Amino acid sequence: MMTYAELFLILSCSVLLFCRAGNSGSSLLKKSLPFAVCILAACLPASASLGADRVQTPPESAVLNPTMKNGEKEMKKAPIDTVFAQGEPNPYGQFFTGQTYLTRLSANDDVWHSSLANVTFEPGARTNWHKHSGGQILLVLDGEGRYRERGGEMRILHKGDVVRIAPDVEHWHGAAPDAWMAHISVETNLPDNQTTWLEPVADEEYE
């Protein structure tokens, strides 16, 4: 397709050739210029239309997975069934390694004295070591996870598993290195249940 500059160059050269071919070049030039301008004016809209076809549309992947700025982490859609909404990036992310998402399902109140949240872990993501003064219950919804108590053996978690964590037991939980995991976290014995966050889980402890 031709650009504006290419069209103008072709028309200008045509006028000059016509002028040289005739005996009265100056007169022919004067007569040819209006004709050339009309042709150029007619061609410009067509050229603009052709140029519009050259506008590049960003690939679909760029729309579905935009690059996050200002230190924000990119959100990914979990390939597993989280049952409840996956939620936004976890506001308690400073106490986790890797990317996690949280949806608050039921906040604590004076009737139930409990709090429920759906937590989704990307592969390799896990909590820091921590403990709850009132205990905790985990209900695994899907994926594959890991759970470990201080000084204990690693427990592999799968869909349907229930983890009952006694008060003040230091532990951590998260996804497998190569798999997502979603679970419901049940905070029991509120409002007297306080969470104490400890050090991150080292790679050798996780693997």
Do 109 and 32 share a structural domain? Answer: no
Q: Is 87 left (phi over 0), alpha (psi -120 to 50) or beta?
A: left
Sequence-distant (6+) residues with CB within 8 A of 81 are 141, 142, 182
Whole-number pLDDT of residue 74 = 77
My answer on whether 48 and 87 are in the same domain is no
Retrieve residue 149's tokens.
């108590």
* Residue 192, in any domain of the structure: yes
> What is residue 75's predicted lDDT score, i.e. its pLDDT?
87
Per-residue pLDDT at 17: 45
Judgement on whether residues 20 and 88 belong to the same structural domain of the protein: no
Handedness of CA 99, 72, 86, 111 (dihedral sign): positive
Contact in structure between 13 and 7 (CB atoms under 8 Å):
no
Q: Rounded to whole angstroms, how far apart are CA atoms 162 and 43?
A: 73
Q: What pLDDT, on the 0 to 100 scale, is given for residue 12?
A: 54
Alpha carbon dihedral 156, 162, 167, 170, in 10-degree steps, equals 10
Q: How many distinct structural domains can be found in the chain?
A: 2
Question: Domain check: are 100 and 161 in the same one?
Answer: yes
Sign of CA dihedral 89, 90, 94, 97: negative
Would 110 be classed as within a structural domain?
yes
Domain span holding position 130: 82-206
The segments of the chain whose pLDDT lies below 50 read 4, 15-19, 21-26, 28-29, 33, 36-38, 40, 43-71
Q: Residue 10: what pLDDT?
A: 56
